[in-house]
Amino acid sequence: MAKGWNLEHSYAGLPKLFYSLQNPVPVRAPEIAVLNLPLAEELGLDADALLGGEGAQVLAGNRLPPGAKPLAQAYAGHQFGYFTVLGDGRAILLGEQVAPRGERYDIQLKGAGRTPYSRGGDGRAALGPMLREYIVSEAMHALGIPTTRSLAVVLTGEAVIREDLLPGAVLVRVAKSHIRVGTFEYAAQSGSAQDLRALADYAIRRHFPELSGRKDRYLLMLRGVIRRQAELIARWQLVGFVHGVMNTDNMAISGETIDYGPCAFLDVYDPAAVFSSIDREGRYAYENQPGIAQWNLARFAETLLPLLDEDREKAVSLAQEAVTGFAKLYRAFWLSGMREKLGLFNEEPGDEALANELLSLMHRHAADYTNTFLALTFGNAKEGALFESSAFQSWEKKWRQRLQRQEEGEEQVRDRMKNANPAVIPRNHRVEEALKAAGQGSFSKLSQLMGALAKPYAHLPEQRAFAAPPPPSTEKYVTFCGT
């Protein structure tokens, strides 16, 4: 299994406060359920070797790849607004794979057994939630949204006890890093000033190397993280993605989407949509995601105050100014993306109102979010309560007049819209269909779904079956954390 592994361990150079050395706990009968061949190649790993007899042993944690130095990371987080000390309760970082082009990626086993941070948990994971993360994270990558990725899901041959006995699995997660807002909260709460500075300097070297050595590097890092999150959340909103559990321990400094627990995509457009079984107050509803991101970033900024300036009042002022800037950045990213979805090349002051008017009409008429934009893209907005309403027809007239006030022609407009409006998203009912079949031992539906999601902007005929909204139902779609 030496082929392709090129592991380093820069995170282990941090103070011991931030991690515990921990080997994965072996499983009974590992078997690869799904392997991401393109990602394996990108990482420089030998896919044939991974698919061989020892591959499942390594990807499940029974055997360590050459150079591995496994550890569990410590962190904290505000969960639904309340601070808690946490850590990798079921995840083991094998190391950082340095890919052929020089990029550095964490290789983490999720569901690899108990750690010092398990807090009474079994450290294991069920097949369904691990496959959900595989499906949605790879779909997000295909949509062009920064995200952690999934290299493999491995069956363990063991059952895990949740509400029922479920097949166990290990997810092999790949990330630019697993440093979270909650990692900084942990440093500020449990560590020394030197520990906090060590973490900040490490995060800068890892994610903002151009800032290394600068006197104002901590303020610039804060601004950089804010900018990345503003763009990330805007991209979520533009495709109708609901994360479901935006705790500070689920916000990555890298700007990647992390932790696909009770996540889902909008079918019918509803700003108040909540899919998580535990979000009873709607804290993490679709419309609240930008505000929650800003709240999380304020917690991040608070941890950096000792590094921003020796004068606390000045440090607070610098932090407040940076965090306040999130709203303007988010609005700019969202509006830019919405202009693309509507085929607009130039900018006019009324564009935001035009977009919001369409969204309001979609909400009023319970229109499908993704398919409404597809109908506009291909000029087939004819049937359905939304398109038949006089209010929409009035809006469409204003939109077409707006399109005429730019130099680009109809073909250019359509191409722009095709590249911004996906033909297919991970429809919740399709994901559930694939998960149910996989739980019964059949992975064909999963394979078909992944094939359809691989090129969402290709608009291929074979994707149409996966673009259909779910059949009418009186039951609200609910997702679970999968712990």
Active site residues: 249
Residues facing 72 on adjacent strands: 20
DSSP string, 430-464: HHHHHHHHHHTT--HHHHHHHHHHS-TTS--GGGH
Q: Is 193 exposed, middle or buried (0-12, 13-18, 19+ CB in 10 A)?
A: exposed
Which amino acid is present at 349? P
Unique residue bearing structure tokens 């979805």: 341
Q: CA 125, CA 4: separation in Å to the nearest integer?
A: 27
Q: Determine phi and psi for 94, rounding to 5 degrees.
A: -75, -30
Q: CA 258, CA 171: separation in Å to the nearest integer?
A: 13
User: In whole angstroms, how large is the CA radius of gyration of the chain?
Assistant: 23
* Cα four-point dihedral sign 385, 390, 395, 398: positive
Cβ 59 vs Cβ 151: under 8 Å: yes
First-last CA distance in the chain: 31
Q: Determine phi and psi for 139, rounding to 5 degrees.
A: -65, -40
Instruction: Give the single-character DSSP code of 64.
Output: P
Q: CA 36, CA 38: separation in Å to the nearest integer?
A: 6
**Helix spans in 116-259 (H):** 127-142, 181-190, 193-207, 217-239
Give SS3 for 315. helix
Unique residue bearing structure tokens 């673009």: 467
Q: Determine phi and psi for 303, rounding to 5 degrees.
A: -70, -25
